[in-house]
């Protein structure tokens, strides 16, 4: 057996960055105390979700990866507790800005960066104003707890992203998230749809999916969003094995046997029976046009 305990979390955020980091550290310490080896915090947890509005002042929130106080603090915490931390942050790289994530191994080493590939643009979620399209491609990391793949929020709606990370050798899939009410349609609730899509990734790739969302109502200049929490962990057959409520700071944990799941994936033949030569339409935008470079 090669067992690992993973954790999903959720918390509310405010404009006091120090207090947000204190909350995040508390969640990490709580999860580690419950035996978690990989602990997921939510998307852009250092501040409120600022993409509700197009406000040039928010570019001042971005930091380079090198020398980031946030990453330095989380590296020390990971090393102290012996845990793996995928950390979401607003990255500045020269004149480019990215919605990024770095994976910190259990010894505190920064293993690299992933830049969000799919950037949404809609009422309340105006990320294209702030973020360049990610240029890293999908990545996986060999950590001391296993091989993990991490997408960021909107990435979680695309089965191609999950499948590529699985093909690259991921054993666990993580998605830090910021999702809630729709300002243009207050009667629409995407919570169940959001969960089911990721449960599908878990079942189709026969590996756990861990999703951490934020909670609370955040007021912007143009609109407010109530984030619906509901962080969850899905097992390798798509079943929810742990789920948080729509409100309330929460730590969820679940334990999986990575070796048993590897054998189960092989036995089901999902990856043996793939036909990549038949999937060329996936390289086009319209199913029949010119393949994208």
Instruction: From the candidates 13, 52, 91, 116, give the one annotated as an active-site residue.
Output: 116
Report the sign of the C-alpha dihedral through residues 164, 169, 171, 175, in that order: negative
Q: Is there a contact between 84 and 109 (Cβ–Cβ < 8 Å)? A: no
Q: How many helices (H) and strands (E) does the chain have?
A: 5, 16
What are the two backbone dihedrals, phi and then psi, of residue 59, each rounded to the nearest 5 degrees?
-60, -20
Instruction: From the candidates 43, 91, 127, 218, give the one annotated as an active-site residue.
Output: 43
| Dist CA 278 CA 16 (whole Å) | 51
Q: What DSSP element (H or E) covers 226?
A: strand 224-228
Instruction: From the candidates 13, 51, 153, 223, give the one annotated as an active-site residue.
Output: 153
Is 116 considered catalytic here?
yes
| Dist CA 125 CA 53 (whole Å) | 8
Closest residue by Cα to residue 40 from 159, 137, 152, 164: 152
- The CA-based dihedral angle spanning residues 182, 188, 189, 194, taken in that order and rounded to the nearest 10 degrees: -80
On the CB side of 276, how many CA atoms lie within 13 Å of its CA?
6
Burial per residue of 122-161, b for 16 or more beta-carbon CB atoms within 10 angstroms, e otherwise: eebbbbeebbbebeeebbbbebebbbbbbbbbbbbbbeeb
Is 153 considered catalytic here?
yes
3-state DSSP assignment of residue 148: strand
Closest residue by Cα to residue 152 from 124, 168, 176: 176
Residues labelled catalytic:
43, 116, 153
């Amino acid at each position: 057996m090669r067992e690992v305990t993973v954790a999903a979390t959720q918390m509310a955020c405010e404009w006091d960055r120090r207090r947000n980091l204190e909350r995040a550290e508390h969640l990490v310490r709580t999860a580690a105390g419950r035996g978690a080896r990989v602990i997921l915090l939510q998307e852009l947890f250092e501040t409120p979700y600022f993409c509700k509005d197009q406000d040039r002042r928010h570019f001042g929130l971005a930091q380079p990866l090198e020398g980031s106080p946030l990453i330095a603090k989380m590296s020390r915490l990971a090393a102290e507790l012996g845990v793996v931390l995928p950390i979401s942050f607003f990255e500045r790289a020269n004149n480019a800005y990215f919605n990024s994530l770095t994976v910190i191994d259990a010894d505190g080493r920064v293993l690299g960066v992933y830049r969000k590939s799919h950037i949404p643009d809609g009422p309340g979620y105006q990320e294209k104003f702030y973020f360049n399209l990610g240029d890293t491609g999908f990545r996986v990391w060999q950590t001391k707890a296993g091989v993990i793949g991490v997408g960021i929020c909107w990435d979680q709606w695309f089965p191609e992203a999950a499948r590529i990370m699985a093909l690259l050798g991921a054993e666990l899939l993580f998605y830090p998230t910021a999702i809630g009410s729709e300002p243009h349609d207050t009667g629409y609730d995407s919570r169940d749809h959001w969960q089911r899509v990721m449960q599908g990734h878990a079942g189709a790739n026969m590996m756990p999916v861990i999703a951490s969302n934020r909670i609370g109502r955040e007021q912007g200049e143009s609109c407010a969003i109530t984030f619906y929490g509901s962080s969850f962990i899905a097992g390798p057959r798509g079943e929810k094995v742990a789920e948080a409520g729509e409100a309330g700071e929460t730590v969820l944990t679940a334990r999986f046997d990575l070796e048993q799941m590897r054998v189960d994936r092989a036995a089901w033949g999902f990856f043996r029976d793939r036909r990549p030569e038949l999937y060329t339409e996936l390289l086009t935008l319209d199913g029949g046009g010119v393949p994208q470079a």
